[in-house]
Structure 1
């Protein structure tokens, strides 16, 4: 059984440092599942560690990728009922490979009615959106989203509205996102409409920001003092400065919450995610064979895309 994996042994631009590697999986460790992967997405959270942004907690060499879906092909005696079933093999090995071993307790069973293209993307963005709305509730609040065309913001906006947000505005960079946002009940604002952004920010109770940089600073300077600014990404690549003590700035990193979840809470979180995803709009998927990973990275960088690149692991 040969395993094709995308590994990197140094940090840098993903197209340069990722290297296809063919090897045979070793013996399955006790308490683990072996999963034959079906699909794995390309997310910002996959790309950024490769560049070295988190080098202090990224041991090398390693396999890229944090989420995906596959079929269990080997399991310990207590989990033989999972053989042939789809799971999300999470918090174990990197997922940009054909075979992944993961701890049994961290594997998430996939309901039969959930399509594999959706299941492959049910971890990073849905869990982040769910946790942010739990810790920084939106009920009765006026909400502003940046990078509103992104998968995480699309879920944040939909779920904030369901949870009782008074209004939800979404700042988008490409005009192609405006109609989709409006159809979801998210009021679209172009990133170029500086005066409008300031006016909306001045009335916003919650800002969920994935952009950072100058846009974050403009919003912070306009927000009311009692507002809360939640930063969960810096897609601009630029940090921002908070010039005043208020409004309150909260930094959200999903990894800070994972170790606080018991196994029962971890599994329960995904039962809630499945329930929410069934009735949510999410981007479509564009498939790329694992051997065409460079094309998938190029597609990921395209501005204004509606579709999420998925690596297809088919043998």
Structure 2
């Protein structure tokens, strides 16, 4: 597929905005007695049920291609969907939300390391600058200050979430014969199966809470909050995320995806009335600087690759 940076940027920013809506609605459900496991399973399973019929219809004449790509799709579902969701929600039970999210976004470092290992080429120095700026910006946006020594078990769950996040950007950027829509649908389906098994075995508690939840100070049906999580925060978010990653490549996509934190802060302000502080605004600027730095680093690396006749992107999976 020919990569278009403009299309990729728009798709991934919209994906980040969609993902960013999940926080306020999920929080309203959890505060009404819903367990995190139940919320995430309904979110992923609902999105899979919504997307799979359309995704399979797109490839109705290419079922052999679907079978060939099942290992990649299954790995994406396990890492990008199940591990990322399970790791994050488990970490939140033991750590402050900001700390858990910061640990999860260490996955961007894992992306750079994965590209380094697979291509055997060190990232450009500007990419390294982007890593530092992005992590500093995240710390400012999340306002992670004055924390005591974190729970080590919670840190371990956060690292699992980071691995899942890295898996999303690395695997979504791999070239496949499947359309982005179908790939996302199958990935959500496989992730839902994994989460369902964890729930059935008691590893992931499943508790349904009240039928009405508080959203922006208004009593709202729980099904409406769940519908937002399924349609916007999962279905739309994952489809656009896969499309954007394929156009941008895994490294740049992982940095643009950091804007999810900014959108999460914005929606928390609009829906929950949680106003961002001045340091969070500064952190947003620093994150954008990190995105710009990694973009310059990727461009410089691509120019070096053209002069050397080498391709530094992630290799395609073996058919």
Higher relative contact order (CA 8 A, sep 6+): 2
**Shared fold (TM-score, shorter chain, > 0.5):** no
TM-score normalised by length of structure 2:
0.25
Structure with greater strand percent: 1
TM-score normalised by length of structure 1:
0.25
